[in-house]
Amino acid sequence: MAKNDLIGGSLWEQYSNKVSERMNNPRHFGELTEADAQRLNGRLIIANEGAESCGDTVRLYWIVGNDDGVIKAAKFKSFGCGTAIASTDMMAEMCIGKTVAEATQITNLDVEMALRDNPDEAAVPPQKMHCSVMAYEVIKQAAALYNNVDVATLQEKDIVCECARVSLQTVEDAIRINDLTSVEQITDYTKAGAFCKSCIRPGGHEKREHYLVDILARVRGEMEQENNPAAPEEDEFAALSIVKKIKVIEAALDKYVRPALAGDGGGVELEDVTVTDDGTVQVHIKYQGACKGCAGSAAGTLTFVQKSLQGAVSDAIRVVVA
């Protein structure tokens, strides 16, 4: 079959030669039988998977060795586009020689990398990357059947990007840990949104439960609130643990005290927080920079720090210079 019989010429240029070859001549297309399983001293596993978004389906055949749990043979049948056929063919090949547990570690990104002609050029157009997800999912189905468990126990929860199999937790962690501020940064760190782009914002070819723009806005809002918590009511502050009191006081120092002192080359470090029997909250501080040895640090600066904390946090605060 000629290239242009399958896809328009310009789009076809975005497919690797390996994908083209396996579209036309898949190496592992077919089926395995109980007779094959007996011949190879193994167990026959047959798993089915379908993609609701495009109507593609695939059936995967494994023969898993009785003695070692190694996949001795793998074949597939597929009703779907050429990308799905090429991806499933490569996936089947990658399973052979692995244990079932090892096979479940194969991802659709691994399959795509194996289909590249060179490491720096994608094997398929970004909008077709989702077609390889079915190959990934059918492995999970086969492993669940082999282990006699519900496939849900092997699946990741709350997948945001189907193409790269990136979970909601991974995206949230990447934003928090790396202080990410844009969708482009999320993609750089996690690969989410790098392919078909349906997960970036509403309006893509597949409707998603989670979108990167919404996750970013929500997590950045949570981070802002965590870094600048609202001052609790007096009674609420008194009821906080020492650790939480310290967190609230640190936030108030960051917002109201340190910027003012930094303007004159000074600073303040929170050394400790203690509570006396009468409920007084003693905030022990140490001056930094120009505040050290400053004539005003014993009175004016101390008063400024104390009044700032009292106004922002609690009248019960008394500041003590360590």
Q: What residue segments make up the domains of the chain, in order of their start? A: 3-155, 166-227, 234-321
Q: For 10, left (φ over 0), alpha (ψ -120 to 50), or beta?
A: alpha
Q: Does residue 131 carry a catalytic annotation?
A: yes
**At residue 8, does pLDDT exceed 50?**
no
Task: Provide the mean pLDDT of the chain.
Answer: 85
pLDDT for 229 equals 64
> pTM (2 decimals)?
0.55
- β pairing state of 42-50 and 57-65: antiparallel
Answer yes or no: is pLDDT of 271 > 70: yes
Please tell me which residue in 81, 95, 131, 161 is annotated as part of the active site.
131
User: Residue 97: how many CB atoms within 10 A of its CB?
Assistant: 12
Residue 5 clears pLDDT 50, i.e. is over it: no
What is the dotted CATH code of the domain comprising 3-155?
Answer: 3.90.1010.10
In three-state secondary structure terms, 78 is: strand
Q: What confidence tens digit (pLDDT) does each residue in 44-86 have?
A: 999 988 754 556 788 999 999 999 999 999 999 988 788 889 9
**Could you tell me the two tokens for 112?**
């795509």
Q: Region 157-175: what's the mean pLDDT?
A: 81
Q: Is 54 a catalytic residue?
A: yes
Query: Is the model more confident about 233 or about 254?
Result: 254
Provide the CB-side half-sphere exposure for 96 (13 A, CA): 14
Record the tokens describing residue 273, joined without a space. 């927080």
Strand partners, 202: none
pLDDT of 166 strictly over 90: no
pLDDT digits (tens, 9 = 90+) for 107-119: 878 888 999 999 8
The CATH number of 234-321, from 3.30.420.40, 3.50.50.100, 3.30.300.130, 3.40.50.300, is 3.30.300.130
What is the average per-residue pLDDT within 92-115? 91
